[in-house]
Structure 1
């Protein structure tokens, strides 16, 4: 099937079971107006994040890679009113857009966006004893995926759900000759998952609005 066909199927899902969402549509418009790259999760993927966080009964969640807050809103919707989502965004300007989107969604009371390099902020989160987190979503620079997974483990508990986005890379993840840092970084993450006794993990390929990609799902034992 062609990419046109993939998009048609995603449109069908969006029209039937995902549904239109004025808040998320406004988020995408605000992101575009601010010049953010159009790399948010799709509506179906966003709904999946909401449902997975709900299945995990998450009360505390961690997101590495906020962008404009689309996925942040999806995850935060699954949390109880007293829940907390801590999201890390490298770009100050992106974080500013995300905070405005999150406030418009009525979720500012349970979401904090910290701006800066995640590998600088994560040790501070540990020092502040803000974990363990029940749900972790990793969607930042792929070259550091193994480092982010390591921190997710440090800030987890038995039962924590960890999702890593964009792990197929148009199929290049299976190309041993690929030298792209995003591919090699993701491959190191999979190798870490494979040898980590505390993790049970799998990965799923996806096609649709975002092309050919996929996500990894792991649960801490």
Structure 2
């Protein structure tokens, strides 16, 4: 049996045993697929991990860079206290509209705010509002990861958790001379983490329904 088949079946086993998905989450994935949104959301086990980490951090304000159809946004909102809020940034108006519909159907409209536009244009507006965040999730265009990290560090509270998804790139992250801008963006992002004294971080390789990839996790000092 191929590795990717095993990885997917193991994910299904853990989903069945450990993750109770209510109809809201299932509907979001179905709605995204029907709308033709790329099926690149976090997997259910990864979504549950984000939920648990948000709970462990006792986060009140979450920043998400990359909304897609709002699946991960809902995992964050599900973990927040009643006075908590998710600010999620999405460049594609069509994706943002699907996310709004999903969020409205879920009942989390008051806890999730979608901001449409290029993240590098909308992030400064959050700074202007004086917003600070306990948890920041970077899951957008990888070539801009270095700039997203700089903004995340500006907007983070002391002790904030920063996670960036899709950093292994099926192993291509080790290819120094890659002509893939996404790979080079991740490599520059890792170099910044290596040098910046404001954050202490590690990387975890993952396998599952999403294939072979991984994420970076860091705590802001």
TM-score band by shorter chain is: over 0.9
Alpha-carbon RMSD across the aligned residues, in angstroms, is 0.9
State how far apart, in whole Å, the 2-side matches of 1:164 and 1:53 are: 14
Partner of 2:75: 74
Partner of 2:107: 106
Partner of 1:154: 154
Tell whether 2:61 aligns with 1:60. yes
State how far apart, in whole Å, the 2-side matches of 1:207 and 1:190 are: 20
Partner of 2:26: 25
Q: 5 Å matches for 1:201-216?
A: 201-216=201-216
State how far apart, in whole Å, the 2-side matches of 1:204 and 1:87 are: 24
Q: SS at the partner of 1:6?
A: helix
Unaligned runs of 5+ in 1: none
Deviation per CA, 1:174-216: give whole Å up to 9, x if none.
Answer: 1222120100000100000010101010000000100000100
Unaligned runs of 5+ in 2: none
Q: SS at the partner of 2:157?
A: coil
Partner of 2:91: 90
Q: SS at the partner of 2:99?
A: helix
* Number of corresponding residues: 220
How far did residue 76 of structure 1 move?
1.0
Runs of 4+ in 1 over 4 A off after TM superposition: none
Partner of 2:136: 136
State how far apart, in whole Å, the 1-side matches of 2:22 and 2:176 are: 40
Partner of 2:197: 197
How far did residue 32 of structure 1 move?
1.2
Q: SS at the partner of 1:160?
A: strand
How far did residue 21 of structure 1 move?
2.8
TM-score, normalized by length of structure 1? 0.98
TM-score, normalized by length of structure 2? 0.98
State how far apart, in whole Å, the 1-side matches of 2:111 and 2:16 are: 29
Q: SS at the partner of 1:159?
A: strand
